[in-house]
Amino acid sequence: MHYLDNAATTRVADEVIEVITDTLRKHYANASALYTPAADSENLLEDSRAAVASALGCAPGEVLFTASGSEGNNIALWGAAFARRNWAKDIVVTGYEHASLTRPCEQLGALGYTVKVVKPTAEGRVTPQMLADAVGPHTALVAAIHVNNETGALLDAAELVKLVKAKNARTAVHIDGVQAFMKIPVDVRRLGVDSYTVVGHKIHAPKGIGALYLRKGYHIEPPYLGGKQEQGLRPGTENLAYAAGFAKAVELLRPTLAARYEKAKALNAGLREQLAARDGFVLNSPALEYCSPYILNFSIPGLRSETVLHYLELKKQVYVSSASACGKGAASHTLQAMGLAAARIDGALRVSFCADTQQEDLDALLEGLDEAAAKLARAKRK
C-alpha cells in the first residue's frame, strides 16, 4: 500500500493510540467535576493544552480545544464578525479558502457583510499585499489559509499581519493553519495573528480533536451557548482522551520538524522533476519556494482525475486524491479560482506526504501514472 493522501488525513500513531486507550481507561471522570478523579482529569487536560500551546509558541490560556479545524475556523470567523458588528461591515478572504471559511463568509454576506474575495494568481499565489489592498476602515476581519490544502501554496502570515494592522489596527487577522502546524515552523506570537486554527488528524492524532489559538486580549463573541468549558467559547464536555492523544502527537513530531521538512522537500522536488519530464503532465502548485513541500498538485489534461485515481488504486495500491477530501469529489474550487482551463481542472491530482512517505511510494505512483496515461489514452482513441 502506498498512501499519498496525508493532506486529507494521516495514520494515527501507535503511541497516540496507546495514550488515548490509557486515558479512556483511567481518566473517565469529567474534568469539570469537583472530586479527586475529576481533578486528575483536569490536570491531564491542562497538561495536554500546555503541550499544544508550547508547540504554537503561546501560553496555555490562549488555546482552546475544538472538535475539528472546521469548528475552529467557524468559531474564529463568527466570533470576530459578531464582536465587530457595531462598526465593521467588510470581511476579506482569499479565493481558495477551505469550505469552513468560505461557507460562513457566504452566510455573513447574507446577513449584510460585504465579503471581498481576493483570488489567487494563475500560478496559485495570494500575496499579503493583495489581501491588505482590500482592507478598509470598516474591515472586521481578514481570514486566510497558511498552507493551501490543495496546492500547498504558502502565505507569509507575518507579513500579512504587518500590512493589515498598518492599514487598520482594529481589523482582526485569522489564519487557518491546519496544513501548516507541525510541518513548517509556526510561532503565533512571532506571526502576530489574532487567531490560528490547528487540528490533530493531519499530524497522526485522531479525527475529532483540534485547537484554536486566541491571542491574549483579543475579543470574540461566543458563537455557541452552553457551559463554561473552554473559556465559554466552545461549551460541552471536553474530549480528554483525544486531547491527550493530540498532545502526544505533538510531542512525537516536535523534535523532527526540521528533518521531516527537508525530507518532504527532497521528495517533492524529485517528483516535480519526474512529472515535468513527462509529456502532457503539468504542475498546478506554485514553485517549491512558495509552497509547503508536503503537497503537490498536478494535472494530466485530457484524462479525468477520477479515472486515473481509481486506476492507481486498483492496479498499484497507490492512494491519492483529486481535490480536497471535504469536496466529496467535486471539482477543485482552488484551481477554479486560479482560472485554470476546465480540462486541467478535470485532470488534477493531489499528492501529499508525511514522515512515513518513502521514495518507493513515489516510484509506484510514477509507474502507475505512466501505465494509466498509456492505457487510458489508447482506450480513448478506440
Catalogue the active-site residues.
326
Bridge partner list, 97: none
Q: Is the dihedral of CA 6, 322, 327, 77 positive or negative?
A: positive
Q: Is the dihedral of CA 321, 324, 330, 335 positive or negative?
A: negative
Alpha-carbon distance 303 to 348, whole Å?
Answer: 9
CB 352 within 8 A of CB 295: yes
Alpha-carbon distance 359 to 53, whole Å?
Answer: 33
b/e sequence 338-347, b meaning 16+ C-beta within 10 Å? bebeeebbbb
- Cell (9 digits) for 313: 488504486
Cα 380 to its chain centre, rounded Å, is 37
Bridge partner list, 89: none
Alpha-carbon distance 99 to 247, whole Å?
Answer: 26
Alpha-carbon distance 239 to 141, whole Å?
Answer: 30
- Interstrand relation of 114-118 and 2-3 (parallel, antiparallel or unpaired): unpaired
H or E segment to which residue 198 belongs: strand 195-199
- Interstrand relation of 195-199 and 172-176 (parallel, antiparallel or unpaired): parallel
Bridge partner list, 299: 282, 348
